[in-house]
Structure 1
Amino acid sequence: MKKIAAIIILLFTSLILPAQTFHSVIYANTNDKKIGKYAKRDIELVKQLCDSLSANLSYNLNLIVKDGNSFKVESVKEIVDSLNVEEKDIVFFYIVSHGSANSKSEFPRVSLFNDKGRIVKISSYELYETLCHNFAHAAAIISITQACNSGRAFEPQPFQSVLKSIKIPLNSFRSDYSRLFANKIRIISCSSQPGKTSYTGPKGSYFTRAFCSTLDLYSNNSPLLKDWENVFVEVQKEYDKIQYAHKFKTKNLRKAVYKIQRL
C-alpha cells in the first residue's frame, strides 16, 4: 500500500512540476510599404523554427508576435518587464525592420514606431544587454536583428529596459539541439556588417532564410553543426549561396555579424 501511495505521489508531483519554456518574441515591421509583405514571410519562417526547436527540446513555447500596429517600441519594455523567465528557460528575440549603422556598436540601430506613430531608433546591442541583465539566470539568450546596418553612424536614442519551408521532424535528433543549449549561452547577431544594407524578397529576408535553413540542417544530424560557432559558419555559407543566386558579386556579399558568450 505504501509503495502504491509513493508511486501516486511521484506521478502527481511530476505532473505539477513546471516544464522549461522557450520564450520566442518576434518583432516584424509588416506595415512598411517596402518590406512589410516580405516581413510576413520572415514571421512564418521564424515561428516554424521556434515551434520545432521547442518541441525537439521538450520546452513549452511562449510565442509573442508583434507586427502591424503592435510593432511599437513601448511594447518592447512591456514584454521585457512581463516575461516570467525561469532558470533553465530560453529567451529568443528576432526583429525584422529597417536599420542603420550605430556609432557605438557594430550592431545596428533598429527602427520601431512609438504610440504617436513616429519612428524611434533603438540600439539592438542595448536591447541585447537589457535582456542579459533582466534575465541573467536564463539558460540561453539569443537576440537577432534582420535589418540594414548602413548609412551615417548616428548615436541611437537611449533604450532603457524598454527560399525554404522549414519542416523539422518533431522529437528527432533531440540530443543535437540539446548540445547547442548544454551550457549557458548568450548570442547577438545581425544580418549585415557595418556599412552594408540587408536584402529581402518574396521568400523572406536573405539572412532569415539562411539562419532557418541552417538550423533545419541541424535537425538532420549534420556533423558540421557541432556548436554555435559552426552554426554561424554554416549560416554564412547558406547566406552566400542565396546572395550568389541573386547575382551578388563576392566583394559585395553581406556578412552576418555575431557575438557568442558562454557563461
Structure 2
Amino acid sequence: MDNHSGVGVVDKTAAILSALEKGPATLAELVTSTHLARPTVHRLALALEHHHLVGRDASGAFVLGDRFAQLAASVGEDRLVSAALPVLTTLRDRTGESSQLYRPHGDQRICIAAVDRPVGLRDSIPVGTTMTMTAGSAAQVLLAWAEPERMHTALARAVFSAADLDRVRSRGFAESAGEREQGVSSVSAPVWGTAGTVIAAVSISGPIERLTSHPAGEHADAVMDAARQLSDVLRRTEH
C-alpha cells in the first residue's frame, strides 16, 4: 500500500499515528519507527496531543488519544440506533415501563431512541430531548466510566456523589428515585463501544408509585440484558 499521499504533513502525521497503533512509544521510538526527523516528530506529536488525537500514559510515553474513542462512538451510533428499537421494545414489554437510550451530548445527555409504555401513567421522553448529566440513573451511568475531567466537572453540580459512581461501576447499573424529576424512578445500564468505552446508557423510567424508590431490585437484570444486547451488536458489526 502506498503511504504517500503527496501532502507531506498528512503523511508524517499518519506515520506517527500508525506507529502508536502498535502501543505506547517514546519520542525516540517514534523517530526510529517513522524515520522522521526528531524535531518534526516532536512538533507533530505535540500538535496531535493538543487535539487529543495523541495522549500520554503514566510513564509519559505517547499513546493514541481519547478523541479516537469519541470518533469510534460516533461511527457506531447509526448501528446503535437501528438496533435499539427492537431491544427497547423488548425491554418495555419485559418491564412494563417506558425505555430509552441516551448518549453524551456535550455537558448534557440526549435521548437517541425511546419506546413508551402504551397505556397508563408513563414517563415519556421524546427522541432528541436533552437532559441533565447531574441527576438521574442514566447520567450516573454515563459519568461512572467517563474521563476524570468530565466526571469531576459534573460531580461539582450533581445530586449524586463519587461514592455513588463507585457503586455504579461495581454493580454494573444505576438506579434513581426523584433525582431528575419529582415522582419518577429509573434504572440504567451501560452500552459499551468497540473501543472499550461506555458510549450510551439504556434506561427504563416511570412513576415512583409503580417502580418504587428502589426499582433496580425488580428491573436491573432486564435493563442490563438490554444493554448487553446493544453492546454485542456493536461488537458483531465492528468490521
* Fold match (TM-score > 0.5): no
User: Higher relative CO (CA 8 A, sep ≥ 6), structure 1 or 2?
Assistant: 1
Larger Rg over CA atoms: 2
Q: Whose helix proportion is higher, 1 or 2?
A: 2
